[in-house]
Amino acid sequence: MTHVTLRSEFEDLIDPYAPVGQVGTGFDFTEGPIWHPLEHFLLFSDMPGDVRRRWDARRGVVEVRRPSNKCNGMTYDADLNLIVCEHATSSLIRERPDGRREVLASHYDNQELNSPNDVCVHSSGAIYFSDPWYGRMPVYGVERPRQLGFQGVYRVPSGGGAPQLLVDRYLFEQPNGLCFSPDERILYVNDTVQALIRAFDVTADGALANPRVFASGIRSELEPGLPDGMKCDQRGNVWVTAPGGVWVYSPAGNLLGKVRLPELVANLAWGGPDFRTLYLTATHSVYAIPTKVGPRHEPYMSGKPGGAGAASSTAVPNLATGEMRIDPQRCAMIIQDMQNDVIMDGGAFADSGAPAHARRQHVVENVRRVAEAARARGVAIIHVWFVVEPGAPGVTLNAPLFEGLVDSKAMVRGSWGAAPVSGLEPRPGDFVVEKMRMSAWEGTRLETILKATGRDMIINTGAWTNMSVEHTARTGADKGYFMIVPEDCCSTMNADWHNAAINFALQNVSVVTNADTVIKALG
């Protein structure tokens, strides 16, 4: 089956001829897929059959719960407790591995919820869910009168408590799939009846603001399918069930392409050992398709039972045997100060020798190669730029570096000098962090991004080796991050300064390696 490319970017996400494999069939109506990151199995629900099943490559499909209270959407929290939307009980449930069952939400304003449908977990631990009334219909739920007169989207605070209504009561007809953008600044919620996706800004207190239509007209007179399940990939693209399979939208709302399946698709989730297999619950069957891109990093993906979600069971990189392995889901890549004023001829610091050393190091090409490989494997890419306003307000003249920056009128916002060098511009899904100090950590949102995306390994690249790169590595090591410095992805004013940092200071706070080794280690 050939998938449909509408924009060239689609083929960076999935091969247009990617095979559609059937992992199980013969079900009534499948929903709610979720992959266990440690035990490597897929859970999915069959609402009309009132059963929950699991699939793994060794045992195939087995039944794990009957009755299942006609469960629908499922996910895990950071401690790998299962979060379940139950149609029959109108409840959002937490199931712990030891069998304990906790009701997270069942009522709003003393009225029963309609039927929690889909759910996602914020890095803060707060749980967001949609509440259409499909679970009060025959077949997909238990037919009974509705108590609420509207269909909402809710948030359960990280510490528990009553669900908080986040949207206008009458904004949605049937809110359904929902997902966060990679940086959790946006929550997407679709409406099956209205055939559209809305986007909301997520405020500091977890509320939603600035509602707007992200995509509309997700319907067809020629084939069945409407918005239902929805996920965001690591680059910020939105994958939503739709006529013929799954439609993929860019972060700007452009329709990039369509993933084609032989049955009506209800939901989707990434899984597999590297989270590069897209599992799709499609009416009577469950399908699997290989992708080139992975999901946005959910809190459960680096979780372990009963423990802190930021921890992982994967070993840290090790070069003692000449081999290194890096878990892409735990890793971020920093591309720091790769700006025209810093390393290019014609830049404010060109007389320092920095452009010549950057060329000898092939630093732009090496960083680009590592970044391409890292993106393809799900590594978070973070561009760190030194940017000042005209006149450099706020820059203290307490060090020669800052004095030179102000005197040279360098790194001014909007200027050619502050722009990233050609070939290292941010791609969709990348993060950009601005600073006014040498270290990437000082006064920036770098650590917020790392914690939100569950990253504790950092590939540290950029300019200058003995300044920004070294300062960032030292602080990162002190904070408990595992720092990796590919030396041919760094440059400074001359080889002597570069070698001094690489051979002495950076050896004590990081693994020093090279671009080819990092690319191989990412798998």
Binding site feature residues for a divalent metal cation:
31, 176, 228
Element (H, E) at 340: helix 340-343
Q: Residues near 212 by Cβ (< 8 Å), separated by ≥ 6?
A: 198, 199
Say which amino acid occupies 277: T
What distance in Å separates the CA atoms of residue 278 and residue 269, rounded to the nearest whole number? 6
Residue recorded with tokens 């266990």: 36
Q: Residues near 181 by Cβ (< 8 Å), separated by ≥ 6?
A: 187, 188, 232, 236, 251, 296
What distance in Å separates the CA atoms of residue 378 and residue 367, rounded to the nearest whole number? 16
CA distances from 311 to 27, 72, 302, 483 (A): 36, 29, 6, 16
3-state secondary structure of 21: strand
What distance in Å separates the CA atoms of residue 45 and residue 225, rounded to the nearest whole number? 19
- Is 328 within 8 Å of 377 (Cβ atoms)? yes
Query: Which is nearest to 490 in space by CA: 506, 509, 477?
Result: 506
DSSP 466: I
Peptide bond into 464 cis (omega under 30): yes
Of these residues, 46, 77, 79, 228, which one is catalytic?
228
- Is 132 within 8 Å of 115 (Cβ atoms)? yes
- Is 85 within 8 Å of 92 (Cβ atoms)? yes
Q: What are residue 248's DSSP bridge partners? A: 239, 257
The shares of helix, strand and coil residues in the chain, as percent rounded to the nearest 5, are 20, 35, 50
Tokens representing 241 are 């069930």
Positions at the binding site for substrate: 117
The sheet carrying 245-249 orders its strands as 4-5, 255-260, 245-249, 238-242, 230-232
Tokens representing 492 are 């400074």
Rg (CA), the chain: 24
Beta-strand pair 277-282/21-25: unpaired
Say which amino acid occupies 135: G
Examine the residue annotation and report whether 228 is marked as an active-site residue of this protein.
yes
Say which amino acid occupies 194: Q
- Catalytic residue ranges: 228
